[in-house]
Amino acid sequence: MRYTRPSGKNGAILGRSSVWGSVAGDIRAATSGNRTTKLISLALVVPAMSREARRRELIRAAGGALALGSATATSGCLGAITGSKPLTFSANVASVPQSTLESTGFSKYKIDPLVLTREFTVAGQTREVEVTNQLAQYDKAAEVLGQRVRASMFVALSTPAVEIAGQTFNPVGELSTRDLARRMLTRYDGISGLQSTGEETVSILGTDTTVGLFTADATIAEGVTTEVTIHVSEAARAGADFVVTVGAYPSLLSGQGDDVRTMMRAVTHNEG
């Protein structure tokens, strides 16, 4: 890990309530009562934006990285694609049990529905498709350089497979871990040098799943950079959904990797 401590006001003291604004994460000031601590998130400097704008950015980075692109449906989909109202597909939540959170030290931040709209075109007709993903976010505090920080994050994203006439239109099931990592991380300034360091197999939702291991250089404040380690799983099929999990932490905290693997193994999917 490379850590350069800035001088003056750039040595930002940030609030305890870390907001993991994306799979890649962000950094911003927040407070919790009178208590403040230094926050090291997955640290990507992005332009100042409103909470709603951050939410949209989150959708693009987490859900959007796995989102449906425009697609041309085949004639076999005509019955499903015609009509005036949007087709809707909603994922069920994938989450981590409380017992696992207690054993790993993670805390639930929040679980959000992320709504995306895309269009399908067939026989000259265009039909809007509304997709609701579910994003469960967790984070964890740790000691870094003698300070208490919100250092690790974990995300479980559930996204509908979107099956029409027996065809699956959500491409997430075909993406490699590197594709997923690049799609998520290249949407932000302040992070560079994504490097694959290997892969491993983790059982996720009862399926042996490939997990890619990566490092990247992240800027967490002006003059402050750190290396982060990122675990990205391939999509695991869960009923009508795909589930992708991501864990990340400063590389200095190498022991966090075992907790990320434990979180991945413990993910459950609500079949509805």
**pLDDT for 216-267, tens place per residue?**
997 766 777 889 999 999 999 999 999 999 999 889 888 899 999 999 999 9
Query: Structural domain tally of the chain?
Result: 1
Q: Is residue 192 part of a domain?
A: yes
3-class secondary structure, 132: strand
Token pair of 31 as six digits: 């407070």
The torsion angles phi and psi of 128, rounded to 5 degrees, stand at -80, 140
Question: Is 272 within a domain?
Answer: no
| Structural domain span for residue 262 | 8-267
Residue 2 lies in a domain: no
Residue whose tokens read 């981590």: 96
The answer as to whether 237 is a domain residue is: yes
pTM of this structure: 0.71
User: Which of these, 74, 66, 52, 73, lies nearest to 23 by C-alpha position?
Assistant: 66
Residue 1 located in a structural domain? no
Going through 71-223 in order, the beta strands assigned E by DSSP cover 71-72, 87-90, 94-95, 107-122, 125-144, 147-160, 163-164, 167-168, 191-204, 207-221
Residues of the chain with pLDDT under 70: 1-84, 121-123, 144-145, 147-150, 186-189, 220-221, 272
220 is written with which tokens? 């967490």
- Asked if residue 101 is part of any domain, the answer here is yes
